[in-house]
Chain A
Amino acid sequence: MAPSPTSCLQRNDWICGEYLTTRADLIASSALEHVLLTVVSVGLGLAVALPLGVVAFRFRRLGAVVLGASTALYTIPSLAMFSLLLPFTGLSATTVVVGLVLYSLTILVRNVVAGLQGVPADVVESATGTGYGPVSLLLHVQLPLALPTILAGVRVATVSTVALVTVGAILGNGGLGDLIYAGLRTQFQAEVLTATVLVVALAVVADLLLLGLQRLVTPWTRAAR
């Protein structure tokens, strides 16, 4: 019988300090890719969701169509979504981002509409009475008052996007998910567990940062959710 290996890498331990020290560069670059994919996806999602939400709020019937379509999109499993985009954008980070933007839209548009609907009618009335036009009413009254709800949507969208990025591994662009996929093939326990813990940690940190931002830019409300 061979002497028991002294290295935790050789023993294939779940927790292995040597893995962290020897693969620090790979872990860091995967984590960075993960963060970038998340930020770009949620950022683009918000950029599309704000005008789309305003339109859906103004034109109720169109709004119902937009919300219905985005809910249907959200029903499509992530692996299928990335696969359906493959003919258009190929095996690339673009495919992952487009898929994630589509998912984040569901959450973000819904919250933009809900936020705008939540603005009290008498506030809108008195603002209109004091001479606000439709555009300045939207920019200076309605959107600021909808901000807590919109930011709550950004938090939910960010947390689920961080988790969904891992599925991008099927396209070779899954951030930390690439490590999980590689670890699956080699049954490398430390790699899979480390990457998983980092993904969850990223989600928690992102959520806390956004909660801080929410408190900072909407000091008039203590709504944490």
Chain B
Amino acid sequence: MDASRPVSAVSDVVDWFADPTHWEGPGGVPTRLLEHLGLSAAALGIACAIAVPLALWLGHVGRGGPLAVNLANTGRAVPTFAVLVLLAIGPLGFGPESTITALVLFAVPPILTNGYVGMREVDRDVVEAAKGVGMSPWQVARTVELPLAVPLLLNGIRLAAVQVIATATIAALVAGGGLGNIILLGFGTQDQAAVVAGALLVAGFALVTELVFVLLTRVVGQRPSPIVAEP
């Protein structure tokens, strides 16, 4: 790879994108993008199914706070690459099962932490007032705590989504699949244009996902609080 000609690399990358063979077949951009999307969506869906109810329940009853909060900090210290490799050469083997398991492991902590904090940060006076007017614990959770916790919960899901997309890229090193494969193939064939093109696709995918969640948070966050809307 020639590291001394970044300027000519730009035209090489443009040529890579213009090459129709890079857009078809099992190694083509659309297939790889769908693989990446599928892996990420599956992992994020499973992580949400586990972490959202758990976070809301823990936040509602006010238990397990240190666990919920410290899990995200601990998760940061564990290298995603190492976990992917450990699961693949371990009992789960090289395949989508080990990749998705690793992705879920890293997606749960941010959702759990943010969901928990979101529920706990609801003004205790508001919660007490809701109880005072005769709301059941379920009603308090659903109509008072949850709507106020949604922006932080969404923030947790956003962090998890970005984490999952990044980890799914690295998963190409281990079990194959996804846009990371384009980067790896580039490294393997010393094709710098392919490496950069794959990286641009991955970065674009991650940024678009981030943007979608930012917009989603804005829409949901601006919804009037039901305490005001439903007196």
Residues on A close to B: CB < 8 A? 72, 75-81, 83-84, 86-92, 156, 159-160, 162-164, 166-167, 169-170, 177, 180-181, 183-184, 187-189, 192-193, 195-196, 199-200, 203-204, 207
Contact = CB atoms under 8 A, between A and B. Distances in A.
Contact of B82 (A87, A166, A207): A166
Nearest to A78: B166
B169 A79 contact: yes
22 contacts: A72-B210, A75-B210, A76-B202, A77-B167, A78-B169, A79-B172, A83-B196, A84-B200, A86-B1, A160-B76, A163-B79, A163-B80, A166-B79, A166-B81, A177-B82, A180-B85, A184-B89, A192-B89, A199-B79, A200-B77, A200-B79, A204-B77
A90 B3 contact: yes
Contact of A196 (B3, B79, B166, B192): B79
Q: Is the interface of B mostly helix, strand, loop or mixed?
A: helix
Pairs of residues from A and B, 5 with the lowest C-beta to C-beta distance, nearest first: A90-B3, A77-B166, A83-B199, A203-B77, A80-B199
B196 A163 contact: no
A44 to B, nearest CB: 20
A196 to B, nearest CB: 4
Contacts of B187: 170
Nearest to A76: B203
Q: Is the interface of A mostly helix, strand, loop or mixed?
A: helix
A184 B88 contact: yes
Given A75-B207, A79-B202, A86 B81 contact: no
A63 B85 CA distance: 40
B112 interface: no
Contacts of A87: 3, 5-6, 9, 192, 196
Contacts of A80: 169, 183, 198-200, 202-203, 206
A84 B5 CA distance: 14
Nearest to A94: B3
A192 B79 CA distance: 12
B165 A77 contact: yes
A196 B86 contact: yes
A87 B200 CA distance: 13
Most buried by A among B77, B196, B202: B77
Contacts of A160: 76-77
Given A77-B206, A181-B173, A184-B174, A83 B85 contact: no
Given A86-B1, A180-B85, A75 B6 contact: no
B82 A79 contact: no
Nearest to A197: B82
B170 interface: yes
Contacts of A72: 207, 210
